[in-house]
Structures are given as C-alpha cells and as structure tokens.
C-alpha cells in the first residue's frame, strides 16, 4: 500500500490543476482496501475514490483522503464458442482494455475506443460513445461496500444503468468501490456503425473490421479535440 501526505494531485486530474490532498492512499488488492475501510481514522475523514480524474474538477485542495486503486489485470473468466467473459481490474486503463479486446478479435467495446479513464470508473459512469454504452456488455460488477465491509457482486440489472448513470453514483445508496468488472464480448462481432460520422469515416477503410472501427473512432475523436 502506498500512503502519501500533502500529495499533489496534478498527475491525477485531466486539467493538471496543482491541487493537493491531505492524504493519498493507493491500494494493491481487496485486502488492503478492507484494511483502509476498517481504519478508525479513515472512517472519521472525508474521502473520495478517484480513477484517472478525467471526470473530476478539483477547485481547492482536498482536506481528506483520496483513494486510488492499483488493482490490475485482464483475464478470461469464461469462454464459449461465441463469447468471452473478461474479468478486469478496476485500475486498468479503459482504452488498454479496448485495444486488447480488438487485438484478440472480440467485439462489443470497439466504439468505446479513446475514452479516457479507468475500467472501474467506466462501469460507474456507464461510459458511452457512437451508439454503444458499457452497460451493453457489463455482466457483473464486483465491489466492496465501504460501510458494511462486504464484497458484493452486482448483476447488470442491479447496476441500475441509465444515461451516464448507475447505482454507484446515487448518494442515497451505500458507497461501493468497484474492484473488478466482468464484461462479455462477442467472438462473432456485429458492427454498430450508423452513428454520427462513423460510417463516413469508415468509408476510408478497405473493410469494416474491429481494428478499422477502433481506428476510425480514434481518428474522429482526435479531429474533434
């Protein structure tokens, strides 16, 4: 576990604002996360879990504890003739997950190429782009309940997904930290290209493949930025 005091969050927010947090804690696994949650000092402090900080705007220094996951790894949890179930550590960079799936020929998230952030936050935010949302592939989300100290597994339905919204964003629910996400991808991908100017961009490619869709989406995103 890594613990830093008066730590600069410059590297942890997209705008590179030079704000500081009183404490920064980075845990490597679920056991370390549980130790943090059970700590009495932690329980008394204001805390915020961040991913890569691409959807957060820090205006002032944070007088509390910023938590960050280092739970990584992508593994095949289940494989059938038609699909694979991937178990992904919350700290994996989302776009690395997409690049990996595309390189393996597994479809379902290629339209979500180039979205900044980590896998855990992607499932919290229900990220979406070019007619696809992560909720279309999420099978389950593994979490740790900050109040009851229980490990939980949410089915897709239990995640209560809406537009850029989920159970995990509702402040009336117990706070849950996402540790792993499980997504089902297709070995026989069906392309969804009738959204925005994706079809137009894909006309520049000799054929529609997972890689072509990924490259086209990234190209459009770069033009927009």
Asked if 198 is part of the footprint of ligand FAD (rule: CB under 6 A), the reply reads no
DSSP structure string for 41-102: HHHHS-EEEESSSTT----S-EEEEEEEE----EEEEEE-SSEEEEEEETTSBHHHHHHHHH
Asked if 66 is part of the footprint of ligand FAD (rule: CB under 6 A), the reply reads no
Residue closer to ligand FAD by CB (options 109, 115) is 115
Nearest to 214 by CA among 51, 104, 89, 72: 104
Asked if 138 is part of the footprint of ligand FAD (rule: CB under 6 A), the reply reads no
Beta carbons of 19 and 62 less than 8 angstroms apart:
yes
Taking residues 105 to 124 in sequence order and writing x for each that binds ligand FAD by CB under 6 A, - otherwise, the string is ----------xxxx-xxx-x
Asked if 25 is part of the footprint of ligand FAD (rule: CB under 6 A), the reply reads no
Beta carbons of 16 and 33 less than 8 angstroms apart:
no
Asked if 50 is part of the footprint of ligand FAD (rule: CB under 6 A), the reply reads yes
Residues in the chain, how many?
225
Asked if 215 is part of the footprint of ligand FAD (rule: CB under 6 A), the reply reads no
CA distance 194 to 130: 8
Among 47, 125, 132, 140, binds ligand FAD (CB under 6 A): 125
Asked if 166 is part of the footprint of ligand FAD (rule: CB under 6 A), the reply reads no
In Å, what is the CA distance from 185 to each residue of 33, 83, 97?
29, 6, 12
Residue closer to ligand FAD by CB (options 134, 202) is 134
The CB-of-187 to ligand FAD minimum distance in angstroms stands at: 26
Q: Buried b / exposed e across 179-190, counting CB within 10 Å, b at 16+?
A: bbbbbbbeeebe
Asked if 181 is part of the footprint of ligand FAD (rule: CB under 6 A), the reply reads no
Among 8, 29, 55, 186, binds ligand FAD (CB under 6 A): 55
Which residues in this chain contact ligand FAD in the complex, by CB under 6 A? 14, 48-56, 69, 90, 115-118, 120-122, 124-125, 127-129, 164, 168, 177-178
């Amino acid at each position: 576990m890594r613990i830093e005091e008066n730590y600069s969050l410059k590297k942890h927010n997209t705008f590179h604002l030079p704000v500081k947090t009183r404490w920064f804690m980075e845990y490597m696994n679920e056991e370390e996360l549980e130790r943090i949650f059970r700590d009495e000092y932690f329980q008394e402090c204001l805390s915020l879990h961040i991913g890569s900080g691409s959807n957060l705007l820090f205006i002032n220094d944070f007088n509390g504890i910023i938590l960050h996951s280092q739970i990584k790894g992508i593994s095949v949890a289940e494989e059938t003739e038609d699909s694979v179930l991937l178990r992904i550590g919350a700290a994996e960079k989302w776009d690395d997950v997409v690049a990996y799936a595309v390189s393996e020929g597994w479809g379902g998230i290629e339209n979500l190429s180039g979205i900044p952030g980590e896998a855990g936050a992607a499932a919290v935010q229900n990220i979406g782009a070019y007619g696809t949302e992560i909720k279309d592939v999420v099978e389950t989300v593994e979490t740790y309940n900050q109040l009851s100290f229980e490990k939980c597994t949410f089915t897709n339905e239990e995640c209560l997904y809406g537009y850029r919204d989920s159970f995990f964003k509702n402040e009336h629910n117990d706070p849950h930290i996402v540790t792993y996400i499980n997504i089902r991808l297709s070995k026989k991908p069906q392309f969804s290209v009738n959204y925005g100017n994706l079809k137009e961009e894909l006309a520049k490619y000799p054929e529609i493949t997972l890689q072509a869709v990924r490259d086209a989406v990234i190209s459009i995103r770069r033009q927009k930025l």
